[in-house]
Amino acid sequence: MRNIIIQIVYYASVILFILGLKRMSSPKTATSGVEWAGIGMLLAVIVTFLFPNMHNFALILSAIAIGTVVAWIAAKKVSMTAMPEMIAMYNGMGGGAAAAIAAVELFKLSSDTSATMPITTFVLAITGALIGGISFSGSILAFFKLRDWLKNVYFPMQQIINLSVLAAAILLGFTLYFWHSNFILVLFFIASLSYGVLMTMSIGGADMPVVISIYNAFTGLAVACEGFVLNNIAMIIAGTIVGSAGTLLTLLMAKAMNRSLLSVLFARFGGGTGAAVEGTTKSMEVEDAAVMLNYVNKVVFVPGYGMAVAQAQQKVWELASLLLEKGIDVKFAIHPVAGRMPGHMNVLLAEAGVPYDYILDMEDINNDFPNTDIVIVIGANDVVNPAARTDKTSPIYGMPILNVDQAKQIFVIKRGKGKGYAGIENLLFFDPKCLMVYGDAKQVMSKMIQTLKEQE
């Protein structure tokens, strides 16, 4: 009887997950979507207490209580700008949990020489442990990198060493089937976790969103694998759905950057630096830039990671609103990989209250640039670099970009003279039509607003 109740509730949870995900695919129903999925999760967790002959209830409840309080506070406190690394962190925790489940099951095997496990179950447990472990350590490293606490690390023979560690992990995993030993099990986990670290260490720059997405898919698959091990259909379905959805999302992102998944994973980004640029950049004062905005018909804002860092989204919208009041046509152009996650800029602009109709994707706005009087680039760099179209030696050659160089005038608001995340020179800055406005994005926006208001 208990079993039937458990299965019915699990079935309902899975349906709620699928419907919830579907509702999340439209802005209008998105919030209710995650609430449906949340109800599914809550039901599944409660009914799991009904499993017959379970022990350690006090431990389970206290772990859930501690985890809930810590994760709740952290998730409430994190700023919207730090969202990518927060998703990476929570995702890593899921991968770690899947690996830990495998560890419990495999430990039962490894600590008893006479214990047996069906070969399919064993293979799935090991696979889940490997993928989950990689996702765990890899996501934590991605978190550190996105926080800028760690830089990319390169060393000689990197790919060969990385692949050897992966091969060692797989080999140790299979050895465990024939040779039940805790020592081998521990070595297997060390190798898996090390590979996650090594794999993420060499991936850098503009590829970080793709990596987070890969680990999201990885965790899903690891959860599905452990679902097979525990004979838990709900886990299998939820994990597989995330695995396939995450893989698709990863491919879409890689495509948007014109990078193959293999080159993201195994070739370091920015191997070349592109041709050296000759010429000079022109800069101007904020006030002068603001004044010029009075005499135009169409302005397009191109936000990038710099806007997120400066928390300038609200000031940007304030300036845009001011221009709208003057009867100027204002749009926001979003590159698929602007920021450090697809949709990152959309989230920030939505936070500031920018209506959807003003926000356009790359394909929808690229033809509009020749008719645009002024493009204001706020902290975006590589996604507007014309070298992607012209310079075959550039590491970003072939990446679709926003063709802002076709506009009549370009303002680039930038903190300093540094290069973009990919570490290459931006040809746009040397364009005679391009004027650099140096300063913190938020302060520049405030000054522009002030100047425009004073003129009224």
Catalytic residues: 382
Toward other proteins, which CB reaches closer, 323 or 427?
323
Q: CA nearest 418: which of 322, 309, 255, 298?
A: 309
**Nearer to other proteins (CB atom), residue 212 or residue 424:** 212
Q: Are 438 and 274 in contact (CB under 8 A)?
A: no
Q: For residues 65-79, b (16+ Cβ closer than 10 Å) or e, as one string?
A: eeeeeeeeeeeeeee
Residues 189, 133 contacting (CB under 8 angstroms):
yes
C-alpha R_g of the chain: 25
Residue tagged 């890593």 (tokens): 92
Beta bridge partners of 434: 410
Contacts of 283 (CB under 8 A, 6+ apart): 435, 436, 437, 438
CB of 332 to other proteins, least distance (A): 11
* Nearest distance, CB of residue 133 and other proteins, angstroms: 12
Structure tokens, 16: 């709620």
User: Which residue, 78 or 197, is less far from other proteins as judged by CB?
Assistant: 78
In the complex, what is the shortest distance from the CB of residue 444 to other proteins, in angstroms, rounded to a whole number?
18
CB atoms within 10 A of CB 262: 9
Angle at which helix 441-454 crosses helix 313-325, to 10 degrees, equals 20
* Shortest Å distance, C-beta 237 to other proteins: 5
Nearest Cα to Cα of residue 331 among 362, 287, 291: 362
Nearer to other proteins, 66 or 167 (CB): 66
Residue 271 beta carbon to other proteins: minimum distance, rounded to whole angstroms: 28
Q: How far is the CB of 23 from other proteins (least distance, A)?
A: 10
User: To 5 degrees, how large is the angle CA 206–CA 265–CA 24?
Assistant: 65
Residues 339, 308 contacting (CB under 8 angstroms):
yes
Choice between 67 and 370, CB closer to other proteins:
67
Q: Which CB atom, from 222 or from 377, has the smaller least distance to other proteins?
A: 222
Least Cβ distance, residue 48 to other proteins (angstroms): 5
- For other proteins, give the closer residue by CB, 54 or 167: 54
Neighbouring C-beta atoms of residue 421, cutoff 10 Å = 19
* Burial class of residue 2 in the structure, from the number of CB atoms within 10 Å of its CB (0-12 exposed, 13-18 middle, 19+ buried): exposed
Say how far apart CA 93 and CA 67 lie, in whole Å: 11
Amino acid identity, position 128: G
Q: What is the DSSP letter of 206?
A: G
